[in-house]
Amino acid sequence: MSYERIKNLPVYRQALSLRTMSREIASYVTQNKDLLTLGHSNSLRDHIADSLLTDAILIPQHIARAENSPSLAIRQRSIHFINVMTRNLYSYCRGLEKDGVREREYLDLMRREVKHFRQSFKKWRKGIS
């Protein structure tokens, strides 16, 4: 499947939106503005922000992999990973709250985006597997 077709899939566009939002949240909640080094920090908040960002980056990659693969096993594995990563996104929001992030409205917005993504993901998943 061509990239042109993938980028027009609603689930893929929503995954890109999650990726962008996670980048903004990670940048906002950490003192370390070099997002590439968050994983090397001693701060729990930086580690959570890094995980949030990493999983959100992987979701569109797994959608593209599932769309492009003729293998049912690869498609199912990608679907499983996306399920795990979206659940993780909720957990990371909770972790940031527990770590003292006061701006809950941003985390609530992320949760709403994840919820909308999961609805679209469920529809897409039925057609791909």
Q: What is this structure's pTM?
A: 0.90
Q: What does the pLDDT average to over 34-57?
A: 81
DSSP string of the chain? --HHHHHTSHHHHHHHHHHHHHHHHHHHH-S---GGGGGGSS-HHHHHHHHHHHHHHHHHHHHHHHHH---HHHHHHHHHHHHHHHHHHHHHHHHHHHTT---HHHHHHHHHHHHHHHHHHHHHHHHH-
Q: Which domains does the chain have, with CATH numbers?
A: 3-128 (1.20.1440.60)
pLDDT digits (tens, 9 = 90+) for 109-125: 999 999 999 999 999 99
Inform me whether the pLDDT recorded for 30 exceeds 90.
Answer: no
